[in-house]
Structure 1
Amino acid sequence: MGYADAVTANIRLIILRELANTTGYASNDSVLRMVLAEWGQAVSRDRVRTELTWLADQNLVSLTALGESGAQRVMLTESGLDVATGVTTNPGVQRPSPGRATAGMPGLER
């Protein structure tokens, strides 16, 4: 796996873990963009939406348009939660580190 692929897989894991840690397992693309920047992955809104579309194509999140602005509501699916916590894997998403897969996730701590 090259550097660009590793960065992409990391971005996707950050998104899934953020949704797993969010009440209601949902957020929007703007908030997720800010969270990515906090984790050292400052990317464009277009890049966030590209990754969200990929995650939706993998059935790891569902997307709902919020009006005509192009903003999106993002909801974690059960499959996405499984990947975020390391129960299952997806070749395009970084696997959580051992012992950190459920860290900070209410009801999922070991």
Structure 2
Amino acid sequence: MSDYIETLSRHRRLTILRFLADSPEYTSNVSILEDVCNKFGVTSNRDQVVTDLGWLREQGFADYKGEGDFIVVTATARGVEIAQGKTRHEGVQRPRPGH
């Protein structure tokens, strides 16, 4: 994977986790997450978001139910810790202080 694509994926994963950490019940759906990533300048399509959700699930940072047109995603406690900068993982961009 190219450095740019990997950097974009790390930023997308952080954006997803941060949004979930601030969402009621730490939950959202893939369509909203795609919109959020694009709103925050992390250019993303649905396939990229779903791919990164699979990665987040493999790492134990999020879980999801459903498939196809409607996927509901929930952050785990570990995912929230990453989003808040309390812990780190090399596959997720570290949040800047104060964010």
TM-score of the alignment, normalized to the shorter chain, above 0.5: yes
Higher RCO (CA-CA < 8 Å; seq separation 6+) = 2
Q: What CA deviation, in whole Å up to 9, does each residue of 1:31-61 have, x standing for no partner?
A: 0000011011232211110000000000000
- Bigger radius of gyration, 1 or 2? 1
**Amino acid in the other structure paired with 2:39:** E
RMSD: 1.5
Greater per-residue helix proportion: 2
Segments of structure 2 that go 5 or more residues without pairing to the other structure are none
Segments of structure 1 that go 5 or more residues without pairing to the other structure are 101-110
Aligned residues: 98
Percent of aligned pairs sharing the same letter: 37
Mapping of 1:1-110 within 5 angstroms? 2-65=3-66, 69-100=68-99
TM normalised by structure 2 equals: 0.92
In structure 2, what is the Cα distance between the partners aligned to 1:48 and 1:3? 16
